[in-house]
Structure 1
């Protein structure tokens, strides 16, 4: 009877420590609710340059603002109604004043910014430049991609800095971006301006943002995230001059008599300010690779919310309409609802920059990243129960042998 009981105990222990087969693991994983994924990016129809390659993932950068924001999928507060369906591959809604993040999808996923990067230029250069100063536009300022957005500034034309800002934020003028970056970049010109943009991004805690062009036109290594854009937008909307510019519906580009050119009117191309009650303004963007990008803000019942979205397709809703739908969803949440926060400027400046680890060739990046108490060796977790099982088998054999010997002696 003792031998039979011992065998029974051994079988139970062996079952508990038996390695999980791939099929059983799959069944276990399927029992855990999956995080709703974000929409996938669509391949661009027009290819003018190699597709930008995102930098290696840095685990510390993905948890800026809270660990819940590290997900590649949807994150919303408990009991929150489902957000509206959008085509953006990543998005985020946050409170401009409290800094609370109300929800998002892939908030820390890398994406190309397009012209919403002009907000980083504005946040960096608005405090540096005198809006009343009259400056001369150069031919180098007009060195932009053929067919890209422009205000219509003329080389040799003389314009107030305020006019350049209006051309940048209303019409997304790429030549205006070059001129403003050059003016604020010191002796290095545009290169100095872009360097200042990257330095200010780090000051804000936008650690996944790297500017290569002042305008947001695609460039190798140029990326941002929906979370970073919210940090940048928050800095912009804290500036009263910026608020005045982005809510301007129409502006006039003055005539250049010395060049024989007449003046003309420009109009704000952000439809949110015309069609959304309480709109505070924002910025649109588009390139072949970035697809449609958008930043918008609005105020309702004393709350100011900002929405950022990247990688959107214009059907069935345009970028600003997707932003408006997400703002409606955010305003419908209680003020205390949150999944994270927007960090304060300077909060991350003292943190050392971690060395990125290239993704493993055998495992996707999410599996390479390790947490405390987890085995990061491919397949390593399977050897622990096998070792325990082997020890138990040896102990069981020894016990059986000793029991049999005791029985023979009796």
Structure 2
């Protein structure tokens, strides 16, 4: 009888174990995140804040191929030389395919070469632009690296303006033309969201086709946009493909929908004959961002998170024994937003003075609100005095004594 009882208990235990194993979705973990990406390195970031929403080996350095050209394009646009004429050098004419086929000494308008650069990814056009804007390829690379540092992309190093695989010696150290998925996404964010030339960048990268001639009108050229992502997803606004033997297929693209700006960067996303891998990964990451994240404003946080007023010592008041306080206000700038996943919250804390000593000026900064997500500060807001307070001085003290003495005499 006991044996039968233990058999029943064991059977119930096994049934319970099997039933639990059949429902892995109930187990806490990262089941919602994109899986089985082809890319060796990938990143999805919030274009509004720059926050990384997803990464796979996102900080791993890899060659970036022709995605390099987004930096070449934005630097040329910001240089303001679109109506100038650039001449093809011998170095430019030697560039391998894919190329425009420019001859030594042939001249072009800079604005036309930008379409050649971004739509057809012509390597010789990149060199012509680099030499015109930077004086030389090396000089232009310095500008590229300077801009990368400015954007905060410390793990990026540019050697060429077109993304061809390259190495060089710098101060006894071998440097490789490379970036990370996270850095590449941040560079694209700069191009489409932050640069003063962002509108021109978007116009060029969204153009389906473009025709132009050399500056002398001797030859005509036709360019077709090879960024299939533009017609793949609603809201796609920009992108750049790339491929070299070392880099594999690479891609960086941007999408705007439902008030969200999402940017995807892929490095090492397959090798021939797997051109389609990058489109599969891009769609998967973009859909993840659209479905799992919602937009939140930092203005949603109540002002109660910091003091509305603080005490002021040695301040002039109507009465000698009255405690003085001063009101505070938030200095609001342009509204800032951030993408958050369900369950994520914005934490806000006040960092500043708890009391003041007169004199105090109106509009004086006495602290700041810090807004954090996952322990990282994404936004700060200055806290200012709403009014001023004068310091107690001898004339004021004398006046108060007279007032008090006068009241005593009357009594």
Q: Do they superpose with TM above 0.5? A: yes
Q: 2:290 aligns with which of 316, 322, 331?
A: 331
Q: Does 1:168 align with 2:117?
A: yes
Structure 2 residue aligned with 1:291: 248
Structure 1 residue aligned with 2:164: 217
The aligned length equals 262
Q: Secondary structure at the match of 1:332?
A: helix
Q: Secondary structure at the match of 1:120?
A: helix
Q: Tell me if structure 1 keeps the 8 A contact 2:237–2:254.
A: yes
Inter-partner Cα distance in structure 1 for 2:73 and 2:179: 16
In structure 2, relative to structure 1, the CA distance for the partners of 1:316 and 1:237 (3 Å cut) is closer
Structure 1 residue aligned with 2:280: 321
Inter-partner Cα distance in structure 2 for 1:98 and 1:250: 32
Q: Does 1:249 align with 2:208?
A: yes
Q: Tell me if structure 1 keeps the 8 A contact 2:107–2:216.
A: no
User: Which consecutive unaligned segments of at least 5 residues does structure 2 have?
Assistant: 1-27, 168-175, 295-339, 345-372, 379-411
Q: 1:196 aligns with which of 143, 147, 165?
A: 143
Q: Which structure is higher in strand share?
A: 2
Q: Tell me if structure 1 keeps the 8 A contact 2:134–2:143.
A: yes
Q: 1:81 aligns with which of 17, 20, 32?
A: 32
Instruction: For residue 143 of structure 1, report the CA deviation from its aligned partner.
Output: 2.6
In structure 2, relative to structure 1, the CA distance for the partners of 1:294 and 1:341 (3 Å cut) is farther
Q: Secondary structure at the match of 1:126?
A: helix
Inter-partner Cα distance in structure 2 for 1:306 and 1:252: 29
Q: Tell me if structure 1 keeps the 8 A contact 2:41–2:55.
A: yes
Structure 2 residue aligned with 1:25: none
In structure 2, relative to structure 1, the CA distance for the partners of 1:226 and 1:266 (3 Å cut) is same
Q: Which has the higher contact order (CA 8 A, sep 6+)?
A: 1
Q: Secondary structure at the match of 1:312?
A: coil
Instruction: For residue 343 of structure 1, report the CA deviation from its aligned partner.
Output: 10
Inter-partner Cα distance in structure 2 for 1:121 and 1:325: 28
Q: 1:264 aligns with which of 212, 216, 221?
A: 221
Q: Does 1:102 align with 2:53?
A: yes
Q: Secondary structure at the match of 1:227?
A: helix
Q: Tell me if structure 1 keeps the 8 A contact 2:107–2:214.
A: no
Calculate the aligned-residue CA RMSD, in Å: 2.5
TM-score by length of 1: 0.60
Structure 1 residue aligned with 2:129: 180
Q: Secondary structure at the match of 2:142?
A: helix
Inter-partner Cα distance in structure 1 for 2:88 and 2:51: 41
Structure 2 residue aligned with 1:300: 257
* Pair member with larger Rg: 2
Q: 1:126 aligns with which of 77, 82, 86?
A: 77
Q: Does 1:142 align with 2:93?
A: yes
Inter-partner Cα distance in structure 2 for 1:296 and 1:169: 13
Inter-partner Cα distance in structure 1 for 2:81 and 2:376: 29
In structure 2, relative to structure 1, the CA distance for the partners of 1:106 and 1:184 (3 Å cut) is same
Q: Which runs of 4+ in 1 moved over 4 A?
A: 77-80, 255-258, 338-344
Instruction: For residue 228 of structure 1, report the CA deviation from its aligned partner.
Output: 0.7
Q: Does 1:93 align with 2:49?
A: no
Instruction: For residue 255 of structure 1, report the CA deviation from its aligned partner.
Output: 5.3
